[in-house]
Amino acid sequence: MKFTDLIAAAAVVSAILLFTAVPDAVPALGGFAEAHPFIMSFLKFAILGTLGEMVALRIATKRYTHRTFGLMPRCLVWGSIGLVIHTAFIVYATGTPNFLMGLGFSLPPDALADGDFATRLGLAFSISALMNILFAPLFMLAHGVVSMHIEKTGGSLLGFFSPIHISKLLGDIDWNMVWGFVFKKTIPFFWIPAHTITFLLPPELRVLFAAALGIVLGVILALASLKRNEATA
């Protein structure tokens, strides 16, 4: 185990101990999140999403970061993703019940909270499926383009705010990976089931759980990349 691994483990343990040893920490954060949901969404994704990419990089290259990784730009990108995801959760959690009722389904006023388990599960799955089929592919593609832009501009904040050459970056994308793995496998077999669970959770926990999923997906993508590299070696 490297020294950087010890630092990372110590940070995680310290965070756990904070919430264990300071009973008021959880209610205080919960109150702040309820009062400022978009700010908390930004912070949760900025921290956990960036951590997920660092863990994935550690698995793939034995390092948590490198010269062009761009820690601050990636924090900004993941924080912005948190804002978009929080907005998408509101839109799809509100719109999907109306869509289903338009198809003739009968739902209680707040089906995710007041329905029986079968109703809640069916609605959570429907919200997740619609969001991941209609919204996720373009969103994932945009995230991939911005990540490539960070790498190609040296990982600096100045480079991050330079113009993004979208057409060139789209041409550099590994479409076999994007279509064959990210779209065809992670969406139906990971994101739709995972976000079904997300929408079964209380509203105040959904964004946090979604941000934590970024770490899990980062590990999955890193392992898939290692497997693909071994197969082509």
- pLDDT digits over 18-68, tens only? 555 555 666 776 788 788 999 989 998 998 888 888 888 888 888 888 889
- pLDDT digits over 158-193, tens only? 999 999 999 999 999 989 889 998 999 999 999 999
Q: Using CA atoms, how far apart are residues 37 and 67, in angstroms rounded to an integer? A: 33
Q: What are the residue boundaries of the structural domains of the chain, listed by start?
A: 36-232
Q: What is the pLDDT of residue 56?
A: 85
Give percent of the chain with pLDDT exceeding 70.
85
Q: Using CA atoms, how far apart are residues 209 and 45, in angstroms rounded to an integer? A: 10
Q: Using CA atoms, how far apart are residues 47 and 34, in angstroms rounded to an integer? A: 19
Of 122, 100, 141, 118, whose CA–CA distance to 196 is shortest? Answer: 122
**Count of other CB atoms within 10 angstroms of residue 85:** 23
Q: What is the pLDDT of residue 52?
A: 84
Residue 136, classed as helix, strand or coil, is helix
Helices (DSSP H) in the chain: which residue ranges? 3-21, 25-35, 37-61, 71-102, 111-114, 117-130, 136-152, 157-160, 166-172, 175-177, 192-200, 203-232
- pLDDT digits over 149-164, tens only? 999 999 999 999 999 9
**pLDDT above 60 for 16:** no
- pLDDT digits over 106-147, tens only? 999 899 988 999 999 999 999 999 999 999 999 999 999 999
Q: Is 140 exposed, middle or buried (0-12, 13-18, 19+ CB in 10 A)?
A: middle
